Amino acid sequence: MVQVTPFLLLLSLALVAPGLSAKKCVLTGTWTNDLGSNMTIEAVNGLGNFAGTYHTAVTATTNKIQRSPLQGSQHHVNQKSQPTFGFTVNWSFSDSVTVFTGQCFVDETGREVLKTMWLLRSWVNDLKDDWKATRVGINIFHRLRSQRE
């Protein structure tokens, strides 16, 4: 029985250790996506709410692209290390709004990645044009620079 106890101790440490060493994915910072758009997320408050700015690299309008405000919320029950989140961008240069939803991951190399899906709603003049007013897509964001560095 004496020999079994050290084995069980080592086994329990092996099972618990990966959870202890897992890096936490943090939304705060500056991110860039697969299209070259950049966003900055300011501090996430105790309720999980945050604000920031989004500078898109792509647009369907001929207006000059401007940095636009974003507002969001992170789900942080039990302070999970890879939280889900959502945010809205109210475009400063067009009559449209985009909502993003996603999850903050830490990949196998320890790099933080935001996997998102979005809906963009553009203004249309008439109900008959409603069919072309909403677009959907995905983006993957990588940290451009860290607020923690």
Length of the chain: 149
Whether residue 115 is contained in a domain is answered as yes
How far from 49 is each of 15, 57, 101, CA to CA, in Å?
Answer: 34, 25, 14
CATH number at residue 121: 2.40.128.30
∠ Cα 74 76 78 (to 5°): 170
- pLDDT, tens digit, for every residue of 116-137? 999 999 999 999 999 999 999 9
**Domains: count for the chain:** 1
Are the C-beta atoms of 41 and 69 separated by less than 8 Å?
A: no
Strand partners, 86: 73, 101
Are the C-beta atoms of 81 and 99 separated by less than 8 Å?
A: no
Mean pLDDT of 4-24: 53
- pLDDT, tens digit, for every residue of 85-97? 999 999 999 999 9
Better-scored residue on pLDDT, 125 or 18 = 125
Whether residue 7 is contained in a domain is answered as no
Whether residue 118 is contained in a domain is answered as yes
Whether residue 30 is contained in a domain is answered as yes
Query: CA 64 to CA 68: how far, in whole Å?
Result: 12
